[in-house]
């Protein structure tokens, strides 16, 4: 029954084609902007997530319960007693790809008569290569290879501070948990170009075993970092593993990458705020343009509205007629916007445009706009609700016209 | 004795123009029987259209009562008035007032769409109404592709299609040339004869007044005469005294 009213609404939109096309274009552009921005932001989040997870070496970090909530300096005293047992327990979970030890320490690195403070990390070279982006940061020399070898990788800033280059011999000094001083001579395997300067000035990596010997903490680790299979829910796996290890008598605190990635959360919040603000501006533009079109339409059709009321059309039906016109414009604009958005996305993804690295990243990536079905749905809902809102007042005005005055309108 | 189709009892409508009160209609009392062919006559500004709007439930009187088929219609709510208009009344306006984006057939069917009748029924009745007004073959044309007279015939078909008890026509020939007006009047007379539908015109066009079976004269919002003319259609030269009711057939 209502098909005839939709048909009439569609024909009414065709009365002033140019005006309808102009208003419809705003809807189309709004829809494209919404879906493309969502796709681009999604890609940025994915890139940022990868950078963050690779920076941490995995999605989940297991630490001793005593170290939880402490600063790195404070936590350094609380090591996991048997990291291998913890790793074995965690690796039983089907979502875990690998469990890697990390040993944090600090002290002085010396070359000749020059020394500088460092923040050291003992790690498994093979697992580190697999899980993190550190290998991409090697600027000079080669990544750590032998898990037993006394060798180090230094940040560029740190290497400059002591005048070391790849192949040079340096002395790594530290204090053991018991308070004793210990040192080891180690050749520089590689110089790293780390993207964050503050870390680049202090960064030192060495294999886990020599690091644990240096600290006199064999078998112990500051943390065990878990790399998960793609698509695994980190929070769910973390809860499962913490529970399982607790049952095994090895309580740990399992923290996901998201809990520790303050930078990621801040960047995401910033992007979401920008996206929301942009959406607000878009909605305002669409509302103003549509309200203007509808108001003009009501004004031009005043006599006709008077006639409709006179021959017995109820006020609610008059209002519904104008709202249908708004709905149709939203629907048409959204469908066309979706088609154009998909075409534009395909063209951009095929263009090979290179983007700068995401915040904290070292390498750029080709432009890729993700397909987010939810964004298309959101775009449709946003356009429809916006146009309904914009049409409401003109439609209400039309429905409240006095038929006698409306028929006499010139 | 049957109820009149429409009874106006001391209908008064006063407009406010700033501080000034302008009387549109004053204490109009008369009735319209089923099947009548009457005209509200008078000079411009005499209150013809205002009275027609009151009778058509498009406007509300400041005082007085309007009875439609014996029921008080002046106190009906907005929805009931709209229902009464679409089910019992037909309207023909000075300008055709058709919807430009609909074809002639759809414009006529529109009156039935408002009653939510099935599409097939709306269409077939609309085509029949167009045949009745002599527009067979022009069903698919939009108003823009019709002449002034044809458009007004479509408007008449729209008024007729719902089989109303009364058609109210406000200056229906005002925007037409005299030949077209004559043909339209012939159509009104023919429809009145064949369908026995009541017509009430408001007009100062002598051609309409000359064909009406009853003439109600207004001056300054007051009914000054109400005359039923002879079946031959002649109008008496002497107007009867003004009154609140029908004066009867003049001598």
Question: What value does the mean pLDDT of chain A take?
Answer: 89
**Which positions in chain B touch A5 (Cβ < 8 Å)?**
113
Q: Which of B225, B219, B243 lies closest to B44, judged by CA?
A: B219
Mutate to test the interface with A, among B91, B112, B164 (most CBs of A within 10 A): B91
User: Does residue B158 sit at the A interface (CB-CB below 8 Å)?
Assistant: yes
Query: What distances in angstroms separate CA A84 from CA A147, A213, A240, B147, B211, one per listed residue?
Result: 15, 16, 18, 96, 112
Q: What's the pLDDT score for residue B134?
A: 87
- The encoded tokens of residue A197 equal 């300067």
pLDDT digits (tens, 9 = 90+) for B43-77: 988 999 999 999 999 999 999 999 998 889 888 89
Going by C-beta distance under 8 Å and a sequence separation of 6 or more, which residues neighbour residue B45? none
No. of helices (H) and no. of strands (E), chain B: 7, 10
Q: What's the pLDDT score for residue B244?
A: 40
The pLDDT of residue B232 is above 50: no
Domain regions of chain B by residue span:
6-228
Max CA-CA distance within chain B?
54
pLDDT digits (tens, 9 = 90+) for B236-251: 443 343 444 443 333 2
Residue with tokens 């609309």: B126
Phi/psi for A121 (5° steps) reads: -135, 125
Q: What is the mean predicted confidence (pLDDT) over A208-222? A: 93
* Shortest alpha-carbon distance between residue B221 and chain A (Å): 17
User: Does residue B120 sit at the A interface (CB-CB below 8 Å)?
Assistant: no
- The encoded tokens of residue B201 equal 């015109």
Which residue among A304, A314, A403 places its CB closest to the CB of B58? A403
pLDDT digits (tens, 9 = 90+) for A180-189: 899 999 999 9
The verdict on a CB contact (< 8 Å) between A15 and B119 is no
Domain regions of chain A by residue span:
3-52+264-407, 65-251
Q: What's the pLDDT score for residue B236?
A: 42
CB A167 within 8 A of CB A187: yes
The pLDDT of residue A168 is above 70: yes
User: Does residue A274 sit at the B interface (CB-CB below 8 Å)?
Assistant: no
In the three-class reduction of DSSP (H, G, I as helix; E, B as strand; rest coil), residue A48 is classed as helix
Q: What's the pLDDT score for residue B250?
A: 34
Question: What value does the mean pLDDT of chain B take?
Answer: 86
Which residue among B82, B91, B97 places its CB closest to the CB of A304? B97
pLDDT digits (tens, 9 = 90+) for A341-391: 999 999 999 998 887 766 555 566 788 888 999 999 988 998 899 888 888
Query: Given pLDDT bands bounded at 50, 70 and 90, which one contains residue B195?
Result: confident
User: Does residue A303 sit at the B interface (CB-CB below 8 Å)?
Assistant: yes
Q: Which of A159, A174, A150 lies closest to A76, judged by CA?
A: A174
Q: What's the pLDDT score for residue A354?
A: 84
Query: Given pLDDT bands bounded at 50, 70 and 90, which one contains residue A143?
Result: very high
Mutate to test the interface with B, among A312, A313, A314, A321 (most CBs of B within 10 A): A312
Question: Among A191-205, A225-239, B155-169, which is the least confidently predicted range?
Answer: A191-205
Q: What's the pLDDT score for residue A361?
A: 56
Per DSSP, A65 falls in state G
CB B225 within 8 A of CB B46: no
Which residue among B86, B101, B119 places its CB closest to the CB of A312? B86
Query: Given pLDDT bands bounded at 50, 70 and 90, which one contains residue B231?
Result: low
pLDDT digits (tens, 9 = 90+) for A296-348: 888 888 989 999 999 999 999 999 999 999 999 999 999 999 999 999 999 99
By CB atoms closer than 10 A (0-12, 13-18, 19+), residue B93 is buried
* Shortest alpha-carbon distance between residue B59 and chain A (Å): 7
Give the fold, CATH level 3, of B6-228.
Rossmann fold (3.40.50)
Query: Given pLDDT bands bounded at 50, 70 and 90, which one contains residue B235?
Result: very low
| Percent of chain A's residues with pLDDT above 90 | 54
Q: What is the mean predicted confidence (pLDDT) over A64-76? A: 78
User: Does residue A168 sit at the B interface (CB-CB below 8 Å)?
Assistant: no
- The encoded tokens of residue B5 equal 């189709």
ipTM: 0.86
pLDDT digits (tens, 9 = 90+) for A80-92: 988 999 999 999 9
Query: What distances in angstroms separate CA B74 from CA B7, B70, B81, B97, B127, one per listed residue?
Result: 11, 12, 9, 26, 34
Q: What's the pLDDT score for residue B1?
A: 55
Rounded distance, CA A121 to CA A118, Å? 10
The pLDDT of residue B234 is above 60: no
Interior/surface letters A285-318, b for 16+ CB within 10 angstroms, e for the rest? ebbebbbebbbebbeebbbbbbbbbbbbbbbebb
CB A293 within 8 A of CB A23: yes
Q: What's the pLDDT score for residue A360?
A: 57
Name the H helices within chain B. 48-55, 78-88, 104-113, 119-132, 148-161, 178-195, 206-211
Name the strand (E) or helix (H) holding A179. none
The verdict on a CB contact (< 8 Å) between B110 and A311 is yes
Mutate to test the interface with A, among B83, B114, B163 (most CBs of A within 10 A): B114
The pLDDT of residue A127 is above 70: yes
pLDDT digits (tens, 9 = 90+) for B136-168: 899 999 999 999 889 999 999 999 899 899 999
């Amino acid at each position: 029954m209502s098909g005839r009213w939709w048909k009439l609404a569609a024909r009414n939109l065709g009365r002033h084609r140019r005006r309808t096309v102009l208003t419809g274009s705003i809807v189309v552009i709004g829809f494209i902007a919404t879906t493309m921005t969502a796709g681009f932001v999604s890609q940025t989040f994915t890139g940022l997530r990868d950078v963050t997870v690779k920076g941490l070496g995995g999605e989940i970090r297991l630490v001793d319960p005593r170290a939880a909530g402490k600063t790195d300096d404070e936590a350094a005293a609380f090591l996991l007693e048997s990291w291998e047992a913890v790793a074995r327990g965690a690796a039983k979970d089907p979502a875990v790809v690998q469990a890697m030890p990390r040993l944090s320490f600090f002290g002085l690195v010396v070359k000749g008569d020059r020394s500088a403070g460092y923040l050291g990390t003992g790690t498994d070279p093979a697992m580190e290569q697999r899980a993190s982006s550190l290998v991409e940061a090697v600027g000079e020399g080669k990544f750590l290879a032998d898990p037993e070898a006394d060798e180090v990788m230094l940040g560029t800033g740190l290497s400059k501070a002591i005048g070391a280059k790849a192949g040079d011999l340096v002395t790594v000094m530290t204090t053991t948990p018991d308070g004793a001083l210990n040192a080891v001579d180690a050749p520089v395997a590689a110089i790293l170009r780390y993207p964050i300067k503050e870390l680049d000035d202090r960064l030192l990596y060495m294999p886990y075993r020599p690091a644990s010997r240096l600290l006199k903490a064999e078998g112990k680790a500051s943390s065990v970092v878990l790399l998960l299979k793609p698509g695994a829910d980190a929070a769910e796996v973390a809860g499962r593993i913490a529970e399982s290890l607790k049952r095994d008598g090895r309580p740990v605190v399992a923290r996901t990458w998201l809990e520790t990635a303050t930078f990621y959360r801040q960047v995401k919040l910033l992007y979401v705020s920008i996206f929301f603000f942009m959406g607000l501006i878009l909605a305002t533009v669409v509302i103003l343009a549509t309200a203007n079109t509808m108001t003009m339409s009501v004004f031009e059709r005043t006599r006709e509205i008077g006639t409709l009321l006179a021959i017995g059309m109820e006020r609610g039906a008059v209002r519904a007629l104008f709202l249908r016109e708004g709905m149709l414009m939203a629907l048409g604009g959204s469908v066309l916007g979706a088609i154009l958005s998909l075409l534009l996305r395909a063209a951009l993804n095929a263009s090979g445009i290179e983007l700068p690295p995401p915040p904290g990243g070292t390498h750029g990536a080709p432009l890729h706009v993700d397909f987010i079905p939810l964004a298309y749905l959101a775009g449709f809902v946003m356009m429809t609700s916006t146009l309904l809102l914009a049409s409401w007042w003109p439609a209400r005005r039309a429905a409240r016209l006095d038929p006698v005055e409306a028929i006499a309108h010139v | 004795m049957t109820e009149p189709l429409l009874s106006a009892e001391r209908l008064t409508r006063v407009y406010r123009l700033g501080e000034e009160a302008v009387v549109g209609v004053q204490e109009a009392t008369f009735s319209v029987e089923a099947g009548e062919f009457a005209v509200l006559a008078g000079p411009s500004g005499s209150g013809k259209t205002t009275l027609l709007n009151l009778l058509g439930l498009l406007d509300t009187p400041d005082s007085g009562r309007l009875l439609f088929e014996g029921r008080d219609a002046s106190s009906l709510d907005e929805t009931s008035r709209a229902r009464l208009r679409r089910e019992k009344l037909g309207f023909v306006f000075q300008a055709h007032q058709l919807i430009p984006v609909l074809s002639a057939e759809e414009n006529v069917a529109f009156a039935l769409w408002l009653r939510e009748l099935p599409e097939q029924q709306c269409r077939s009745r609309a085509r029949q109404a167009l045949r009745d007004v002599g527009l067979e073959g022009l069903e698919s044309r939009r108003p823009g592709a019709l002449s002034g007279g044809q458009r007004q015939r479509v408007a008449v078909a729209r008024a007729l299609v719902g089989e109303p008890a009364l058609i109210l026509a406000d200056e229906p020939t005002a925007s037409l040339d005299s030949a077209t007006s004559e043909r339209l009047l012939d159509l009104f007379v023919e429809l009145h004869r064949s369908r026995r539908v009541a017509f009430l015109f408001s007009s100062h066009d002598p051609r309409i007044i000359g064909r009406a079976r009853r003439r109600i004269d207004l001056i300054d919002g007051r009914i000054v005469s109400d005359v039923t003319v002879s079946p031959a259609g002649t109008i008496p030269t002497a107007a009867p005294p003004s009154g609140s009711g029908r004066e009867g057939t003049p001598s």
